[in-house]
Structure 1
Amino acid sequence: MHKHSRRLLRGIGLLTALVLGATACGGSGDGGSDAKKSVTEADVQAALKEGGTLTVWAWEPTLEQVAADFEKAHPGVKVDLVNAGTGNDQYKALQNAISARKGVPDVAQIEYYALGQYALTEQLTDLEGFGAGKLSASFSPGPWNGVKAGGEGVHGLPLDSGPMALFYNKRVFDKYKIKVPTTWDEYVAAARALHAADPKAYITNDIGEAGFTTSMLWQAGSRPYKVDGTKVKIDFADAGARKYTDTWQKLLDGKLLAPVASWSDEWYKGLGDGTIATLVTGAWMPANFVSGVKNAAGDWRVAPLPQWTAGAHASAENGGSALTLPELGRNEALAYAFVEYAAVGKGVDTRVKGGAFPATVAQLNSPAFRNTAFPYFGGQQANKIFAESAANVADDWSYLPYQVYANSIFNDTAGKAYVSSTRLADGLKAWQDASVEYGSEQGFTVEK
């Protein structure tokens, strides 16, 4: 590990348990080594023949069947699938294990926005030497960009993705004769018309959320984060960001957003009774409608994401994760065999059948996938919209190497625009300033 990266690592995580700890130095040891590990297909096949136990930390429920199928195909292999927590809870547990150099899993599920912090400090095995680079064409652009983590190497294989779409309540739209918006200006107009017709109804809910905001900036063409190793630039005032803030400010000024937290009981109720009329989110959402908003089956439909420029087709990712090999994990050839099976092999179809949304081009382009009818959405073939969205995601987005921390301070900075007279553009500037300050404190060279 480079000395500067090691110094950065000592600082990251001291202010929050959600980011990197102070003692981990990856698997290269204190002496450091930049040599890429190499595992051949022959090594993988030998590992499968020899067998052994793999510890996989993941929260994705469809992996249970994938693990069972993998064990059946390779009787000498035992997959110990552990749910160490979702997202941040797992990252804390993972970092504790890495810091203690004990109990580190062989495979870990990590969301794309969090990958950078592990990649920078070499806590994940670079899979280029395993032949992962040849798989680039197998994945849609957003997820593949995610495992590159803004730099060199392949830090995992994409497990799933979240190309964005507009979910809307057709019953409500028809009732008030509101056209499905194709631009964000039309979306604002629809919000006004809906709320005027029914003061209890809102176009959507939003009380400020970092992941949603960065996804919207991504689609608008904003690129607030530029990362080159330990050099970082943060700028929330580019043209794309202004498109987003100017438009969303109209919704805030008009009190046209339901002040309801996503995933709350109020949120589910609003989706069910039509008082929350749209959701702008990732393609993983349908299963949540089916399980959590059963009373509105048949009311909802899916449409392409509204555009900032009429006639455009820009999209963005919201959510998604990769399977990675922590540097301190064991039996890397066997671990890679499982990751490849789950992310780009036979396990993909198993996961899609279980409700996961794929990151793989083969599934996204297959007639069977695209023509799947969704009874919940009135028989609509919604995957056609999701697949087109996935293909239209720009692949030049970057997250900060300390994005987990940055997201944790969103509500204390940008979030004030949702609960006070603070303008959204000013809130993003406050988020920028706080992120710059933190990065500088940790030893990054930060430009704003």
Structure 2
Amino acid sequence: MKKNPNIVIKFTNAGSSKDEYKALNNALEAGSGIPDIAMIEYFAIPEYVIKGSLKNLNDYGTAKYKDFYTPGTWNAVNFNGGMYGMPVDSGPMAFFYDKEVFDKAGISEPPSTWDEFYQDAKKIKQIGSYITNDPGNAGFFNAMVWQAGGHPYSTSKDGTKVTVKLTTDKGVQKFCDFWQKMIDEGLIETKTKDSSDDWYRSVGSGEFASVISAAWAPGMFLNNASEGAGKWRIAQMPTWNAGEKVSSENGGSSLALMSSSKNADAAYKFMEFASTNSDAIMSRVDQGGFPADLKTMSNDKFLSQTTMVNSDGDTVDYFGGEKFNAEFAEAAKRVTSKFEFLPYDVYARSVFTDTVGAAYMGQTTMKEGVKAWQDKLVEQGKSQGFTVNE
């Protein structure tokens, strides 16, 4: 680290997502082996703030970076008046589609509304494909509810009260009604686990005509569904009302400073460098990451990118010459910033499959699954000492 040569950084790979959180939680419970810095996804930040595990970065004057980051990522690391992470990447949602399949179905443009998406799904089914796949994924569910204007969760400023209103939230109800119709009419494929080998084969073969995913997906397409190269394109997410410019996020992570750190000042210097220095940011972008800052998203080289380099070192025009980063940058601008995660969202996602997920297999309905999910979340909140409102 040339700017601070006296600071030595030791990296430890504790796995991703739930594996990392398990290792981190074990260290916190034991009171030993706790890192100075942890990479924490946006949805998990409230959980660790409530536990008292993260240091409030406002003490370092981080308010000056409010206009540096996108509204969505800035909001994601701010909780109850404090800032608890430095955003390093983001996941604005977009609509990926196989142009060959759409052309074959007689569809000249990607859907701009969810009603058009429904109509297109019927046309695509007639030629033997599905407009998309969803086996029941909590991250995707939240992103869709977010875009629909949902606000099913909130936490009081003192961190003692939680509101869980999945069964009455208008955004949740809107998405559930629509997705239930798609499932009932057999318009989406629900059996193939996302990101599995079979899933990538279906993406490459045209069985799945579109994927509603985030800006981190292109590299995964490139290296795991190479048969789709040149066929796929990217557009903005369909919206609920014509003419709207609304998107959401799925994924993204931050560097968080653990409150137990004995090297807090040095750790913050590294965090600040890694998350705001242009060279540091571009080193991640070059490996397929999508930035969280507005400056990079307005960089001409970044916005004009039309190709990617795969794991074999080959340059691939996967999206037919499209400037895909420009689409994602526009999606990032459309993200509505007012969405809260539960202060135990890691747990919430772990029980999604057994509740709402059952609806995708026809074992219950979306709304019944949501009710079962809510019951578990209310019970968990109370067991954690929260006052829970429904």
The interval holding the TM-score normalised by the smaller chain is: over 0.9
Output the CA distance in 1 between the equivalents of 2:386 and 2:136: 27
Equivalent of residue 195 in structure 1, options 125, 129, 134: 125
| 1:78 alignment partner, SS class | coil
Equivalent of residue 443 in structure 1, options 364, 385, 389: 385
After superposition, residues 53-64 of structure 1 pair within 5 angstroms as none
Q: What residue is the counterpart of 2:312 in the other structure?
A: none
| 1:311 alignment partner, SS class | coil
Output the CA distance in 1 between the equivalents of 2:300 and 2:141: 33
In the alignment, structure 2 segments of 5+ residues that lack a partner are: 308-316
Q: What residue is the counterpart of 2:206 in the other structure?
A: 274
After superposition, residues 34-113 of structure 1 pair within 5 angstroms as 71-113=1-43
Equivalent of residue 194 in structure 2, options 242, 262, 272: 262
| 1:138 alignment partner, SS class | coil
Deviation per CA, 1:108-164: give whole Å up to 9, x if none.
100011111111121011100011121111100111111113x12110101110000
Q: What residue is the counterpart of 2:354 in the other structure?
A: 412
Deviation per CA, 1:317-363: give whole Å up to 9, x if none.
00001001111223111111111111111311221122210000111
Superposed displacement of residue 429, structure 1:
1.7
User: Which structure has more helix as a fraction of its residues?
Assistant: 1
Output the CA distance in 2 between the equivalents of 1:447 and 1:75: 51
Equivalent of residue 92 in structure 2, options 127, 149, 163: 163
Superposed displacement of residue 73, structure 1:
4.4
Q: Do structure 1's residue 384 and structure 2's residue 365 form an aligned pair?
A: no
Superposed displacement of residue 291, structure 1:
1.0
In the alignment, structure 1 segments of 5+ residues that lack a partner are: 1-70
Superposed displacement of residue 385, structure 1:
1.4
Superposed displacement of residue 421, structure 1:
4.5
Superposed displacement of residue 367, structure 1:
2.1
Matched residue type, 2:197: D
- Write out the 4+ residue segments of structure 1 that deviate beyond 4 Å after TM superposition: none
Q: What residue is the counterpart of 2:63 in the other structure?
A: 133
Deviation per CA, 1:180-205: give whole Å up to 9, x if none.
1111111111111111221xx21111
Alignment check: 8 A CA contact 1:142 1:395 kept: yes
| 2:9 alignment partner, SS class | strand
Q: What residue is the counterpart of 2:227 in the other structure?
A: 295
Deviation per CA, 1:262-315: give whole Å up to 9, x if none.
111110100110001111011111111111111211010000000011110110
RMSD: 1.2
Q: What residue is the counterpart of 1:362 in the other structure?
A: 295
Q: What residue is the counterpart of 1:245 in the other structure?
A: 176
After superposition, residues 321-336 of structure 1 pair within 5 angstroms as 321-336=253-268
After superposition, residues 107-126 of structure 1 pair within 5 angstroms as 107-126=37-56
Q: Which has the higher contact order (CA 8 A, sep 6+)?
A: 2
Equivalent of residue 147 in structure 1, options 58, 68, 77: 77
Superposed displacement of residue 238, structure 1:
2.3
Alignment check: 8 A CA contact 1:165 1:280 kept: yes
Report sequence identity in percent: 43
Q: What residue is the counterpart of 1:173 in the other structure?
A: 102
Output the CA distance in 2 between the equivalents of 1:403 and 1:77: 34
Q: What residue is the counterpart of 1:337 in the other structure?
A: 269
Output the CA distance in 1 between the equivalents of 2:55 and 2:234: 38
Output the CA distance in 1 between the equivalents of 2:225 and 2:2: 36
Q: What residue is the counterpart of 2:314 in the other structure?
A: none
Output the CA distance in 1 between the equivalents of 2:282 and 2:29: 36
Output the CA distance in 2 between the equivalents of 1:117 and 1:327: 14
Alignment check: 8 A CA contact 1:222 1:241 kept: yes
